[in-house]
Structure 1
Amino acid sequence: MTTTHSHQRTVLLGLVLLSLGARFAMLKDNLWRLGEEVDGYLKLAESLSDWGTFGSKDVPTAYRPPLYPLLLAPAYWLQRTLVLAWGWRLTAIAFLHLCLGAGTAVLTWRAAKKLDVQRWSVLAGVLVAIDPLLLHHSRLAMTETLAAFLFAASLNLLLAADSRPRALHTLVAGFVLGLGMLCRTTFWSFTVLTVFAVVLFQRTARSVRVKWVGLLLAAALVVQIPWAARNWIALGRPVLTTTHGGYTLLLGNNDVFYDEVIGTSWSRVWPGESLSDWQEQVHRESGAASELEYDSFCYRLAWNTIRSRPRDFLLSIGYRIVSFWRLTPRETEYYPWWVRLGCALFYVPELLLMIIGLAGRRARQWPGVLLPTALLSFTLVHAVYWSDMRMRAPIMPAVAILAVMGMEQVTAWFNRQPYQQEPVGFGP
């Protein structure tokens, strides 16, 4: 027992150090990038700190999910209150990202062990610790780092709730899934498909499954109540997700995008000038007096485009799925050839092993089916809404675990031994 605990402590320390070291190397000369506005989260955090408003100064918004800015807001408040240097806030955000990154690697390893991955469970944590997508976004003020952590945490808690079927464990799992929804709205899809996975694959009595699903959904939805209530008061509508969905749907389903990208070459990047002109045109045509009206306008325009051009819509689904699972970022000035080569060298073997893992029995049985459930839920959303490879960052822990499952099968083949599938799940 002592030897086992010592080994686990060594693995834990090794994963933490590897994850911290890899992210520190990314941040060392790029700390300034954490102060660079990308998706508006820094402005929201600053407004929360200075005005007490989730929005722009005293104008409320629900355009972005609230959790990540809420985590950043204390750094802004401390900087202003204690009159600290600008770099202190960036260091605080970097520290948060370092902790979340290390936690994600450790939680991935723990989830792999819970899924009875034997010799290669450590590799799952290593893959997450050095994952190019996760490393890249650790130096940006965006939700990918937090979302990956919450996914790994929710996966662990779902597995714990299955192995120790107590109400508290299921409630905590639902609570963390609810936090995920407040970080990335794609967690809604994962939660819904998890419910279906429980119903279809969990080998327990129907009453047990109904109770499990009920507690999970109740906890996840309770977490949304403060956000929905705030939106009802501030915006006049109890928005459960965000007012960004219409634009995201329209971004990938409009005449200009269909004509300039879908109708030409899937390797082409939508030209920045054309994109800017299109955005200005949509704003002018909407005539929206509020972001709720603009969101509704974007949804209507997107669905009109889809109905009028069904063939291009089907082609665009393929484009978005390919974009979601790309091996390398598209060739631009921001991603030189050596960056793209490094991504390919990492993702080609990982995704090939993931496919082998998906073909194994564990990925089709409870609770291992949670892994393909995660992949499917995120892929389905981004098959319709805007997509690129960063959108899969939150589910990279699932990809890593499936890859090590594939590695176990490959090593069994090379050793010419039948692959021993240990039973998983805790139902009768």
Structure 2
Amino acid sequence: MQVTVIGAGLAGCEAAWQLAQRGIAVTLHEMKPEKTTPAHHTADFAELCCSNSLRSDQIENAVGLLKEELRRLDSLILACADATRVEAGGALAVDRYGFSKLVTEKIRSHPNITVIPGEVTAIPEGNVIIASGPLTSDALAAAIAEKIGDGHTLNFFDAAAPLVTFESVDMDSAFFASRYDKGTADYINCPMTEEEYDAFWQALTTAEEASVHGFEDKNVFEGCMPVEVMARRGHNTLCYGPLKPRGLRDPKTGKEPYAVVQLRRDNAQGSVYNLVGFQTHLRFPEQKRVFSMIPALHDAEFVRYGVMHRNTYLRSPGMLDRYYRLIADDRIAFAGQMTGVEGYIESAASGFLAGIEMARRLEGKPPVDFPRETAIGALGLYISDTTVSDFQPMNVNFGIMPPLGYRIKGGKRVKNAQLAARSLEKIDAMREDVLSDRKGE
């Protein structure tokens, strides 16, 4: 038995690992380093092109629950993330390069995985999982469109935030804290007065953008909106978004600032930080000019500027089933952001499910039916739901899972905790079946 996996991002690596762990020979194609995109910077697998945060690690948050489900089912991506985590309050953030390096080492050393570098321009014969990501090359995108029909492919634009060195941040103007003192004080907070914010906002909304073919505000996916696009929606829009000061008290004044720019550690050494929520496609000189107006960043050293790039995803309902298989040809499955799941962990979860389902099908076993009460199952059911009229990329959330069916006292957090407990109970009941066919490395 043999399966071809196209793409060594988070979804492709997870799918390849789950197949290989079940004794199936995997040929993993990755176009790097022979061909790269503007968003890629290394030759390693599972490269984090945008933030180094995998978001909340609390099970009262849907993505935190999804992480815990994957942990209990021996996900490669979660194991590597936990091994390379950096402190980020209640979130799971990783050393960007350490994480990718570890995933690469695990994949390359597995005896059942053969890595072949170079671009894939056609869908191979046999069993295939296509996890080429939102930056799928034009040639492969054309091959996919020919297979499924042009009406099933969509594009949107994604943006990455800039990185600065820790030593260049003026800590006399900044302070360490986490919002509402939740977890440890892992974020650098750069406060701004009303006057400073007003000058910054004026500069941001009039700064020159880089030329991006076909870009319009309406094409921006809300979860990764460029900061300048958000700023243009209103003078104080940023103060209710990434610059929200709530729960952050400046120790120098004892008060909440008018606005706060947060920096999150980007590597284990704490030598590099990223500007949280500052995805952008401003021209590089404009990024330097405008972001240096933030008082604590007046002499900031930018080690990477923000970039804007095209993302491609599929109109999955009616085309893919709940296991991410192509309905018209079940030898082909898709995984990752191109299926319409949005986010690092969601992508890994889709690769996990696509991989174990294909392994079971090749072994003559029925698929594992992750119910809608689980985050893994809810995502698969969302992307395959033909009743969704305006299909858009979706982060995991409790709204796509069934309610408890009874009233809960204690607020949203208590309710979400009970939803999570219900999910993990089901995952634990399924765990032996899911892991029973693994044959090890």
Note whether the superposition's TM-score is higher than 0.5. Answer: no
Give the structure-2-normalised TM-score. Answer: 0.28
Give the structure-1-normalised TM-score. Answer: 0.29
Greater RCO (CA < 8 Å, at least 6 residues apart): 2
**Greater strand share, 1 or 2?**
2
